[in-house]
């Protein structure tokens, strides 16, 4: 029996608040926590299979052309017959983009970027396979054509027409504005850098393929893998019960799963392929670098009269994905004159795709720097400037907001951070003594991120008491937990709805044989799969109510006891030894089109900057967030900490460096690509605000996984300005860039 619901109208029943178990929203610990803390949670590469072989991918060392010859002589001479070289035409050129559901470009004989996997060397041990991969000789032909710099005049670009917003007359508004900002920002490429490298273990049973892998979206990944291999999707099963982080990098099927599946088929044995960290950097998705031209203009009172945001991003030829930089600028602030555009340059660099919060992460950062500059130009407080420009409705398409907490997060953040202590004059200009090396400054930024609901199914089962054990519930969906807290949140929803303590709910995830969900990505995971669990539980409640003899609306479930309509019986009695189960099915509907749904945050940072060396240390940072109902305050807080930490990295240290001559990724390891370490991050403070959004989903929750990064970096660079007077518009704010900006400013 199923319960289906389509979000065609606001769901104001708000049933969760009426439940009795008292778990929803609380800081329930993640049930998988102890397995992770003791090392008993196993990840893809840890799957052990009898007779398993090991595969190592071989990279392209040129950025274009065709593979003329794969020379295996040296390899065969050194390693003999134990080693197999696979150059199957089905090997991927690039991983699939998120939610593609079909194979990405295949065929390893055509090279598009340095680092593209061209062959797979398979051997009985990892040590031998790695050695073999080194011995493979690849000869290339052709490939002189290539573009490596998105800003080079010779690089082909195309305007993404459908993204363009052109309302009013921005040029005229800029010309007659009382105050304006007109400048160019640049953000470098970023990578997700999930700590678990991409890994797959594949094995076949007859025509049936099973792959244990590190993936975020099994429903789509199954179709992608089947399509890549040319087999029916029904014959593919994917397993990903634990995934060591994703942040977009594991949205689509990638080289290792396809390679392992092909090799396992060919050799008749299980095959494991794990990307080296360097391969994860150069063969999996990067976030495009951006060039962002911001124009803001305002009247005397600081009301925006115009917003211009014209951006250049890049990707490989033929790739449709373009970092949607202007996504947040569509609705962040009211302004009658608007010009937003996105241009895509075609370069031979590692494929660009989704990295945590594509679009807003970098777009809001530049917009929020520009707002800080505008506040300075007008001479009003940066928080006040934002408060004066809270939109009444989506300023681009006129849709009403579903619920919106922009003003509230700004005010609450300012209060909690003691923002009023900030002196608007940069410390460097106030502090004359050159021996006072470290200059303090405070900055803030607004964060916005669109909210998305996607189709999801989940099965919930109530199991009778047996062998002295009480009634338990099981939740099943192919949803993944990539650190986001799915195990905790889905168990929590079921426990709340069914009136059971947390420990009596078990959630099974990460198996494509379970009911399909949209997976983890786009911050939609908890809202979508959570709603399907909620619906399944609603169906079970209806049946329990019938058994008890009351309406579902009257039913109270708590600690395994059902009460309603003057009856009260233990669940064990109601089930009477039987199991009941239901599948919940949520579908997005008209609410997605009729309302602008978004989450809001405000971040505040205090930094110290060395006037001598330009080093920056973040001393204090607060994030205030509103994302509808918070399902689990602990895992939600942790997601926000993660977003803020990404923000610190984006602000201060993260940068993909490409060689201008062949586009290759120069810093393709953790020694060269600097994600924040513990010492970069102070004891961050997170405050979650109460909100309900009936347009989002029946639980009235919104996604929170990416919000923390959407503009976070700007709070830090704005604080650098408040310390030094410098405007760092070229990210990241490494010592040299801070010094350069200080030289310009002073």
Partner 1 sequence: MNPFAYHRARDEQDATATAADDGTSFVAGATNLVDLMKLGVKTPGRLVDITRIEGLDRIERTDDGGLRIGTLVTNSDLAADPVVRRDYPVLSRAILAGASGQLRNKATTGGNLLQHPRCPYFQDLAMPCNMREPGSGCAAQGGPMRLHAILGTSAACIAAHPGDMGVAMGVLDAAVETARPGQEGRSLSLEELYRLPGERPDIRTVLEPGEMIRAVVLPPPPGGTHVYRKVRDRASYAFALVSTAVVLRLEDGYIQAGRIALGGVAPRPWRNPHAEEAMTGEPPSEALFDRVANILLAEAVDRSALGRDGAPGFKIDLARRTIRAALWQAVERSEGGAGKTAGEAA
Partner 2 sequence: MQTPLKTTLSINGTRHEIEGDARLTLLDALRDHLGLTGSKKGCDHGQCGACTVLLNGRRVNSCLTLLCMHDGDEVTTIEGLGTPDTPSDLQRAFVDRDGMQCGYCTPGQICSATAMIEEIRQGWPSHASEGLEGEVAPTPAEIAERMSGNLCRCGCYPNIVDAIADVIAEEGP
Of 706, 687, 639, 683, which Cα lies nearest the Cα of 413? Answer: 687
- 119-138: which residues touch partner 2 (CB under 8 A)? 125-128, 131
- The site string for partner 1 over 393-422 (x = CB under 8 A, - otherwise) reads ------------------------------
Nearer to partner 2, 501 or 565 (CB): 501
For the CB of residue 61, give the shortest distance to partner 1 in the complex, in Å.
Answer: 4
Respond yes or no on whether the N-terminal peptide bond of residue 485 is cis (omega within 30° of 0): no
Nearest distance in Å: CB 295, partner 2: 33
Sign of the C-alpha dihedral, residues 730, 735, 740, 743? positive
- Closer CB to partner 1, 570 or 672, in the complex: 672
- Of 310 and 685, the one with the shorter C-beta distance to partner 2 is 685
Identified binder of partner 1 from the candidate list 610, 633, 638, 692, rule CB under 8 A? 610
Question: Which residue do the tokens 């949670």 mark?
Answer: 41
* Strand residue runs (E) in 73-232: 84-86, 110-111, 117-123, 137-141, 157-159, 165-167, 179-187, 199-205, 208-213
Work out which of 127, 169, 234, 551 binds partner 1, going by CB under 8 A.
127
Taking Cα atoms as reference points, which of 557, 492, 572, 477 lies closest to residue 525? 477
| Stretch near partner 2 under the rule CB under 8 A, chosen from 77-85, 141-149, 694-702, 717-725 | 77-85
Give which of partner 1, partner 2, none residue 613 binds (C-beta under 5 to 8 Å, depending on kind).
partner 1
> Distance between CA 619 and CA 605 in Å, rounded?
8
Rounded distance between C-alpha atoms, residue 217 and residue 456, angstroms: 12
Tokens of 69: 């010859």
Tell me, residue by residue from 172 to 211, as one string, x for binding to partner 2 by CB under 8 A and - for no binding. --------------------xxxxxx--------------
- Neighbouring C-beta atoms of residue 436, cutoff 10 Å: 12
Number of chain residues interacting with partner 1 (CB under 8 A): 44
Say how far residue 532 (Cα) sits from the centre of its chain. Answer: 21
CB of 489 to partner 2, least distance (A): 12
Closest approach of Cβ 529 to partner 2, in Å?
17
Q: Hey, what are 354's tokens?
A: 């989704």
43 binds partner 2 (CB under 8 A): yes
Least distance in angstroms from the C-beta of 673 to partner 2? 10
In the shown chain, the binding pattern of residues 625 to 644 toward partner 2, with x for contact by CB under 8 A and - for none, equals: ---------xx-xxx-xxxx
Q: With H, G, I as helix, E, B as strand and everything else as coil, classify residue 714.
A: helix
Residues 725, 736: Cα–Cα separation, whole Å: 15
Q: Which is nearer to partner 2, 126 or 140 (CB)?
A: 126
Of 128 and 311, which has the nearer Cβ to partner 2? 128
Question: Rounded to the nearest whole angstrom, what is the least distance from the CB of residue 679 to partner 1 in the complex?
Answer: 4
37 in contact with partner 2 (CB under 8 A): yes
Three-point CA angle 476, 477, 482, nearest 5° = 115
Which member of 323, 539, 606, 706 is catalytic?
A: 706
Question: Contact between 682 and partner 2 (CB under 8 A)?
Answer: yes
Residue 676 in the binding site for partner 1 (CB under 8 A): yes
Three-state SS annotation for 440-458: EEEEEEEEEEECCCCCEEE
Give the count of beta carbons closer than 10 Å to the beta carbon of residue 660: 10
Instruction: Show the binding pattern over residues 261-280: x = contacts partner 2 (CB under 8 A), - = does not.
Output: -------------x-xx---
Sites for partner 1 among residues 56-115 (CB under 8 A): 59, 61, 114
Nearer to partner 2 by Cβ, of 172 and 670: the residue is: 670
Tell which phi-psi region holds residue 540, choosing left (phi > 0), alpha (psi between -120 and 50) or beta.
alpha
Nearest CB to partner 1, comparing residues 130 and 303: 130
Q: Contact letters (x/-) for partner 2, 409-428, by CB under 8 A?
A: --------------------
- By CB under 8 A, residue 40 contacts partner 2: yes
Rounded CA-CA distance 220/287 in Å is: 21
Question: What does the angle CA 644 – CA 646 – CA 649 come to, to the nearest 5 degrees?
Answer: 115
Q: How far is the CB of 661 from partner 1 (least distance, A)?
A: 6
Site string for partner 1, 438-457 (x = CB under 8 A): x-------------------
Tell me, what DSSP letter sits at residue 332?
Answer: S
Q: 322, 344 in Cβ contact below 8 A?
A: yes
Largest CA distance in the chain: 83
Task: Output the smallest distance, CB 608 to partner 1, in A.
Answer: 5
The 642-671 site mask, x for binding partner 1 (CB under 8 A), equals ----------xx---xxxxx--x-xxx--x
Nearest residue (CB) to partner 1, 133 versus 709: 133
Collapsing DSSP to helix, strand or coil, 464 comes out as coil
Residues 698-728 as b or e (16 or more Cβ within 10 Å = b): bbbbbbbbbbbbbbbbbbbbbbbbbbbbbbb
Binder among 46, 393, 552, 573 for partner 2 (CB under 8 A): 46
**Binds partner 2 by CB under 8 A, chosen from 38, 154, 435, 468:** 38
For residue 134, the partner it binds in partner 1, partner 2, none, with Cβ less than 5 to 8 A by kind, is partner 1
- By residue count, the chain amounts to 746
Site for partner 2 in 474-503 (CB under 8 A): 482-485
CB 530 within 8 A of CB 491: no
| Cβ atoms 561, 568 nearer than 8 A | yes
Site for partner 1 in 711-740 (CB under 8 A): 734-736, 739-740
| Three-state secondary structure string covering 107-124 | CCCEECCCCCEEEEEEEC
CA 358/CA 528 separation, integer angstroms: 19
Residue number, 43 or 731, with CB nearest to partner 2:
43
What Å distances lie between residue 418 and 404, 443, 737, CA to CA?
23, 12, 29
Q: Among residues 274 and 374, whose Cβ is nearest to partner 2? A: 274
List 646, 664, 688, 731, residue binding partner 2 (CB under 8 A): 646
Q: Residues 614, 742: contact at Cβ < 8 Å? A: yes
Q: Is 706 a catalytic residue?
A: yes
Q: CB under 5 to 8 A by kind: which of partner 1, partner 2, none does 438 bind?
A: partner 1
Torsion on CA atoms 165, 169, 175, 179, rounded to nearest 10: -60
Task: Return all residues near 232 (Cβ < 8 A) that are at least 6 apart.
Answer: 226
User: Residue 683: which of partner 2, partner 1, none does it interact with, CB under 5 to 8 A by kind?
Assistant: partner 2
Distance CA 322, CA 290 (A): 10
Total number of residues that touch partner 2 (CB under 8 A)? 67
Rg (C-alpha) for the chain, rounded Å, is: 27
Member of 39, 398, 432, 434 binding partner 1 (CB under 8 A): 434
Residue 652 interacting entry, from partner 2, partner 1, none, C-beta within 5 to 8 Å by type? partner 1
Q: How many angstroms separate the Cα of 55 from the Cα of each of 269, 656, 658?
A: 12, 27, 28
Interaction pattern, residues 656-675, with partner 2; x per rule: CB under 8 A = -------------xxx---x
Q: Is 437 in the site for partner 2 (CB under 8 A)?
A: no
Q: Does 155 bind partner 1 (CB under 8 A)?
A: no
The nearest distance, CB 280 to partner 1, in angstroms, is 15
**Interface with partner 1 by CB under 8 A: which range of 262-270, 353-361, 370-378, 605-613?**
605-613
Write out the catalytic residue numbers: 706
Contact residues: partner 1, CB under 8 A: 59, 61, 114, 127, 130-131, 134, 149, 151, 434-435, 437-438, 608, 610, 612-615, 617, 652-653, 657-661, 664, 666-668, 671-672, 674, 676-680, 734-736, 739-740
């Amino acid at each position: 029996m199923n319960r289906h619901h389509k979000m065609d109208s606001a769901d104001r029943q708000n049933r969760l608040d009426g439940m009795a178990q008292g778990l929803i929203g609380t800081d329930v610990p993640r049930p998988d926590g102890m397995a992770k803390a003791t090392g008993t949670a196993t990840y893809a590469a840890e799957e052990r299979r009898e007779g398993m072989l090991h595969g190592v991918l071989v990279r392209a060392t040129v950025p274009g052309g065709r593979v003329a010859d794969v020379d295996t002589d040296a390899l065969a001479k050194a390693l003999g017959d134990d080693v197999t070289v696979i150059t199957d035409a089905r090997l991927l050129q690039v991983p699939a983009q998120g939610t593609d559901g079909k194979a990405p470009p295949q065929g390893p004989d055509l090279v598009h970027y340095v680092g593209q996997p061209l062959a797979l060397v398979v051997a009985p041990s990892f040590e031998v396979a790695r050695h073999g991969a080194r011995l493979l000789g690849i000869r290339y032909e052709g490939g002189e054509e290539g573009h490596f710099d998105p800003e080079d005049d010779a690089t082909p670009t195309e305007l993404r027409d459908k993204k363009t917003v052109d309302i009013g007359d921005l040029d005229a508004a800029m010309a007659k504005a009382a105050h304006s900002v007109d400048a160019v920002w640049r953000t470098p490429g970023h990578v997700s850098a999930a700590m678990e490298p991409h890994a797959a273990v594949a094995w076949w049973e007859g025509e049936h393929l099973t792959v244990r892998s590190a993936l975020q979206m099994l429903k789509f990944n199954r179709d992608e893998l089947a399509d890549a291999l040319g087999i029916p999707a029904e014959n593919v099963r994917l397993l990903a019960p634990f995934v060591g982080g994703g942040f977009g990098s594991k949205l689509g099927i990638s080289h290792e799963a396809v390679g392992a599946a092909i090799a396992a088929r060919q050799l008749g044995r299980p095959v494991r392929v794990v990307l080296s960290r360097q391969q994860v950097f150069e063969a999996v998705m990067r976030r495009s670098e951006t060039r962002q031209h911001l124009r803001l203009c305002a009247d005397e009172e600081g009301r925006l009269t115009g917003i211009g945001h014209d951006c250049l991003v890049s990707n490989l030829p033929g790739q449709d994905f373009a970092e949607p930089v202007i996504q947040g600028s569509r609705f962040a602030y009211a302004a009658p004159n608007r010009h937003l555009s996105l241009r895509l340059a075609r370069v031979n660099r590692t494929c660009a795709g989704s990295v945590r919060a594509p679009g807003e992460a970098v777009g809001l950062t530049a917009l929020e720097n520009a707002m800080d500059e505008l506040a300075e130009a007008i001479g009003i407080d940066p928080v006040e400037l934002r408060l004066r420009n809270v939109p009444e409705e989506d300023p681009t398409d006129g849709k009403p907001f579903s619920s919106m907490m922009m003003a509230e997060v700004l005010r609450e953040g300012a209060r909690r951070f003691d923002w009023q202590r900030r002196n608007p004059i940069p410390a460097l200009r106030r502090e004359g003594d050159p021996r006072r090396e470290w200059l303090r400054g405070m900055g803030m930024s607004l964060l916005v991120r669109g909210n998305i609901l996607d189709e999801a199914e989940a099965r919930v089962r109530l199991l009778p008491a047996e062998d002295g054990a009480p009634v338990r519930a099981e939740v099943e969906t192919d949803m993944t937990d990539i650190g986001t807290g799915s195990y905790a949140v889905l168990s929590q929803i079921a426990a709340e709805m069914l009136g059971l303590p947390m420990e009596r709910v078990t959630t099974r995830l990460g198996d494509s044989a379970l009911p399909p969900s949209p997976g983890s990505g786009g911050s939609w995971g908890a809202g979508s799969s959570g709603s399907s669990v909620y619906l399944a539980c609603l169906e079970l409640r209806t049946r329990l109510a019938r058994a008890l003899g009351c309406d579902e609306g009257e039913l109270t479930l708590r600690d395994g006891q059902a009460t309603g309509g003057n009856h009260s019986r233990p669940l064990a009695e109601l089930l009477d030894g039987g199991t009941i189960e239901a599948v919940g099915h949520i579908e997005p509907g008209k609410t997605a089109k009729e309302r602008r749904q978004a989450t809001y945050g405000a971040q505040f940072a205090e930094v110290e900057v060395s006037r001598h060396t330009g080093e920056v240390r973040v001393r204090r940072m607060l994030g205030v967030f509103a994302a509808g109902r918070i399902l689990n305050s602990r895992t939600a807080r942790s997601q926000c900490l993660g977003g803020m930490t990404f923000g610190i990295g984006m602000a201060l240290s993260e940068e993909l460096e490409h060689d201008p001559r062949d586009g290759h990724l120069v810093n393709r390891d953790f020694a060269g690509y600097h994600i924040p370490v513990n010492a970069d991050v102070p004891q961050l403070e997170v405050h979650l605000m109460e909100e309900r959004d009936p347009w989002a989903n029946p639980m009235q929750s919104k996604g929170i996984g990416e919000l923390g990064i959407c503009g976070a970096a700007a709070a830090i660079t704005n604080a650098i300005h408040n310390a030094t007077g410098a405007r760092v518009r070229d990210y990241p704010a490494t010592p040299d860039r801070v010094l350069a900006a200080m030289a310009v400013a002073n």
